Amino acid sequence: MEQVKLGNTGLEVGVAGLGSGGSSRLGQGYGLPKADSVKVIKAALDIGITFFDTAAVYKTEKIVGEGLLGQRQNVVISTKAQIIKPGSPALGDNMAPPSQIREGLESSLKNLQTDYVDIFHLHGVMPNQYSYCVEHLVPELIKMREEGKIRHIGITERFITDTDHTMLSKAVADDFWDVVMIGLNFLNPSARKLLFPSTQKKGIATLIMFAVRTALSRTSVLKELLQEMVDNKLIDQAIASEPEPLKFLTDPGIAVSIMDAAYRFCRFEPGAEVILTGTGNVDHLRQNVASICAPALPSETLTHLETIFGHVDTVSGN
Ligand SMILES: NC(=O)c1ccc[n+]([C@@H]2O[C@H](COP(=O)([O-])OP(=O)(O)OC[C@H]3O[C@@H](n4cnc5c(N)ncnc54)[C@H](OP(=O)(O)O)[C@@H]3O)[C@@H](O)[C@H]2O)c1
């Protein structure tokens, strides 16, 4: 697998990273036995994946820890702390105190069976929560980094609602963040203008989520979303009326499926470093990694996508 440098962190990893969140959560989202989810981690190692993303709220840290036993020196582990008090509404302003972030790290270390994490993120920060995070939580993260318990500090956006990257636009203008996790797919390529120029200039590492998510992994959801985009005057009716959505992507010699096109789109977006893929199915994992490692889409196809979706910053593909 092709190796990529993660910004200025000094880390180098395979371009495809395994995510253990999303709707699948390594299959835990649909009741896969834990041992089978552990097998997904081990299969990922066999395929050459060296980047593993998890989070306290996904409840997959223990599975990741078990799957990576004996491999600690060969992998990069990314996990996240919840920034609101447990039980408070996700979009409320009931923010976690710094002590909760530290307790979160201690619990993650235990779950992951390690004494350090490579990247520790504040998870799903909303624009109205950002200044609290900077004022109260960043100093604690910096202390934890100085203690060697975390190697790099990261922040992830809540792309489902923050589709125009309002929070991360502030974050990339600051100088605290070593790593950011960004929502990107061909339906909403707005990170291209809003984030990548800064991350590239400053050497902030980028992890890409939402490459396929729900809309680009299920045809029926894609059809519904395209119609919604027509109704909201984002795209032309003709695109949503096609019997097979976005057929030009799967014409001979272009891509083998919409998902294949979606992963390749992200992989070759300048500024995108690790492309995350989440699954509980080893065959899906192999297909997705093959797509991430396949050549770029033809330039005419990219131009076609840009013409249709280049201006969109209001959908996530969730
Ligand atoms: N704010 C945040 O911090 C945040 C938010 C979202 C995601 N993330 C991270 O990003 C990672 C990626 O998440 P994502 O939201 O981009 O979505 P994703 O987890 O990659 O979603 C892919 C979905 O498509 C299915 N799928 C995967 N491969 C398939 C294939 N070849 N054929 C058919 N279906 C397939 C998966 O289920 P199957 O199990 O059936 O394959 C899953 O439901 C997460 O795991 C997580 O680590 C972070």
Give residue-wise pLDDT tens across range 268-280.
Answer: 999 999 999 999 9
- Superfamily name and number for 3-309: NADP-dependent oxidoreductase domain (3.20.20.100)
Cβ 37 under 6 angstroms from ligand 1 = no
Going by pLDDT thresholds of 50, 70 and 90, the confidence category of residue 90 is: low
In Å, how far from its chain's centre is CA 201? 21
Residue 52 one-letter amino acid: F
Query: Does 58 qualify as catalytic in the annotation?
Result: yes
Sign of torsion over alpha carbons 251, 256, 259, 264: negative
pTM: 0.96
Mean of the per-residue pLDDT values for the chain? 96
What's the 39 CA to ligand 1 centre distance in angstroms? Answer: 17
What's the 30 CA to ligand 1 centre distance in angstroms? Answer: 13
Going by pLDDT thresholds of 50, 70 and 90, the confidence category of residue 168 is: very high
Q: Where are the domains of the chain?
A: 3-309
Q: Which atom of ligand 1 is nearest to the CA of 287?
A: 31
Cβ 75 under 6 angstroms from ligand 1 = no
